[in-house]
Chains A and B, each alone.
Chain A
Amino acid sequence: MVSRRSWVRLDNASNIFLAAMSSVDSKVFRLSAEMVDEVDPELLQQALDRVFDQYVLYHSVLRRGIFWYYLEESDLRPQVEPDRLPLCDHLYHFDRRELLFRVVYHRNRIALEVFHALSDGTGAMQVFRDLVAEYVMARYPGDFRDRPDSAPVERGLERDSFTRYFKQDRTDEFAEAARSASLAAGSRTGRIPDEPIRRAPPIVSRGRRRIYRVRGTRTPDHRTRAVELDMPAEPVLRLARQTGVSVTIFLTALFLQSIREVDERARDAIMAVSLPVDLRKRFPSNSTRNFFATTRLEYDFGANDHALPAVCQSLNEQLRAQTTPEALEAKLVKLIGFELNPAIRLLPRPLKDAILGGINRFNNRSLSVAVSNLGRASFPDAVDSRIGAVCLMVSAARPQFCMISHAGRLTVTFTAPFVELDIQRAFVRALTGQSVPVGISVCRVTADELPGKRP
């Protein structure tokens, strides 16, 4: 008899990605890393096979129940493929049983694309780090000759692969890996017991004011337009320090200013930006599931100083207020309350989808752009020197950028559902104007740009 497959219901935090998924926004994000040499697909496949065995969560396929979506362990195996789909292309298709991630390569790049309902950026980074490390060790065995064979475990590539491999009950293992991260964190900190949901005090009242939204021409086949900016991290860090804020806040402020510069409508508008914060930093967790809270920062250009330092200071204060331990704890309690709310649990899945979709549309209306920072990518020391710039990008319903740094290189990748590149141009010129050397890569999205169709 075929063994029964383990399954875990999808938490609400992840459900929202399914509700928000559309033909424009696939809710897929991509992590990629540049190697020194051309990628060897066979070795990459071997590396993927080894890493895949260690992450049971990534064996999941997404299925639909009456009340919930659920993740079910599958026996599908991933296959590395040349990069030939549009960036961040859909990974989940209705009624199709397929893995929720893909590994592709192009020239000297390795990329991991993940459906956001499965994992968040930090979670996926763990997998990506192990994948790239395994690949580098297989590709350059000479570098590791003086090390013992059992090296991967010693190099901290896998914390407890022994227990993972030899645990008798695979069902428990999958259930543990696929468990909602916020519920797990809640049970550890002992905050689940029917505590009334405390609401985080609103930092900025939303009111009924109109929030500026970027408009543009949709790409012809709804693919994501990506613009990757590659620059040395040091000068940007220096500029941010001069303003007295973090690089994230500095670049976010620059983003808002760039929009204001290119769009007449934005001159005196209120702009709002969503910025996710990783909850693992406050509530230690090894979970690779979604475990983040979003902060929302806004700036009223009509009522305040337009200068960059003023925008930076305001955003910085808002972010600090929303990420105090108390504020984050309140966010976690809210997330848990959302998971356990009996009224939500009893709603049939299609209704949940409709309601979450409505919430998402409402949220979209009160956001201009989004920003996401994964910080500094770190790889095991032994392999680090073989890895160049690392890049993060995410499919987008509105213009947004993701940033990540490695080996002294900072990559800022803009994604948008629109063809226009005015905002990105203003952003790049603002940086190069302050003598930051920037290199850009733009993906082609229109018939005019794509080869063969050029006049």
Chain B
Amino acid sequence: MSRCSRCNVGVRGDWIDCPLCGHPLTSAIEPTPAPWPDVPLRFDVRRLMRVLVLVSVLIVVGALLALRFFFPGPFEGLRLVAFGLAGLWLVTLTAIRKRRNVAKSIVYLVVIAALLSVYGDYLDGWRGWSTTYMIPITCGASMVALLIAARMAHMRPSDYIVYWWMTILLGVVPALFIAFDWVTNPLPSWISVGLSFLMLIIMPMFRGAEIQHELNKRLTV
């Protein structure tokens, strides 16, 4: 072990000066190795990600609000492109942020896409394309997408079942659009609702006990 004569202490590892006081060490014939390896400094990706996400969300939300309050006008041309880019960025962010849980990311994406389309429809003067086409088609597709993703990623049923259940619930929402007559063409809504009911019938047959188990777990008070 090397020694520091000022601190009167033995020092392990290949220090040249005393780590405590900086005084040169008298090195031993046989230095004792440090108990830990030297780990190189690392760049903290997580912090960068957090800042990037926050800044992105602020920019996107700012851009979307600006479309309504600062640059009102017909929903076409550059405005449409700006809206599309903002939406795309938001969707990409969600997909990246939730990449560790594909099932969860699908539910998030459905909700974000639905909200974006409603806002777009509003900017466009409420022509009803969001409730007629966008939301029912997104909801219907998400149920199928989740099953495909679950199969391709070899997910365990307990990991996606709650989210599958949520997509099914979301799939029933278009029934409200039909009830309130918010649709110009009822077919996409009917398809989404029909698909939901089909899934509702199928799912408990296979996975009833597991759904119960998962819900108990997540809702324990």
Contact = CB atoms under 8 A, between A and B. Distances in A.
A442 B10 CA distance: 11
Contacts of B32: 439
B40 A66 contact: no
Contacts of A84: 37, 39
B19 to A, nearest CB: 4
Interface string A69-92: 010100000000011111100000
Interface in B1-48: 1, 7-13, 15, 19-21, 32-44, 46-47
Contacts of A9: 220
A449 B11 CA distance: 15
A3 to B, nearest CB: 10
A370 B40 CA distance: 28
Contact of A451 (B33, B38, B44): B38
Nearest to B206: A1
A96 interface: yes
Contacts of B13: 441-442
A449 to B, nearest CB: 8
Interface residues of A, number: 55
Interface stretch (A181-189, A320-328, A421-429): A421-429
A203 B39 CA distance: 44
Q: Which of B11, B35, B38, B47: most chain A Cβ within 10 A?
A: B35
Interface in A74-120: 82-87, 95-96, 106-107, 109
B217 A32 contact: no
B221 interface: yes
A374 B19 CA distance: 27
Nearest to A83: B37
Given A23-B47, A70-B220, A440-B19, A428 B9 contact: yes
B185 interface: no
B23 to A, nearest CB: 10
B158 A5 contact: yes
A451 B8 CA distance: 25
Interface string A221-234: 11100111000000
A440 B11 contact: yes
B157 interface: yes
Contacts of A23: 44, 46-47
A377 B105 CA distance: 47
Contacts of B41: 220-221, 447, 450
B37 A221 contact: no
Contact of A432 (B9, B37, B98): B9
Contacts of B98: 95
Contacts of A83: 36-37
Nearest to A444: B38
18 contacts: A2-B156, A2-B157, A4-B158, A4-B213, A32-B35, A66-B219, A68-B220, A72-B217, A84-B39, A95-B98, A95-B101, A220-B41, A429-B7, A432-B9, A439-B12, A441-B34, A450-B40, A452-B40
Interface of A: 2, 4-5, 7, 9, 23, 32, 34, 65-68, 70, 72, 82-87, 95-96, 106-107, 109, 220-223, 226-228, 345-346, 391, 421, 424-425, 428-429, 432-433, 437-444, 447, 449-452
Interface of B: 1, 7-13, 15, 19-21, 32-44, 46-47, 98, 100-101, 156-158, 209-210, 213, 217-221
Given A4-B210, A107-B33, A439-B32, 17 more contacts: A2-B158, A34-B35, A70-B220, A86-B42, A106-B36, A109-B35, A221-B42, A424-B20, A425-B20, A428-B9, A433-B8, A438-B9, A439-B1, A439-B9, A440-B19, A442-B13, A443-B36
Listed from nearest, the 8 A-B pairs whose CB atoms lie closest are A439-B10, A442-B19, A425-B20, A65-B218, A432-B8, A441-B12, A95-B100, A86-B39
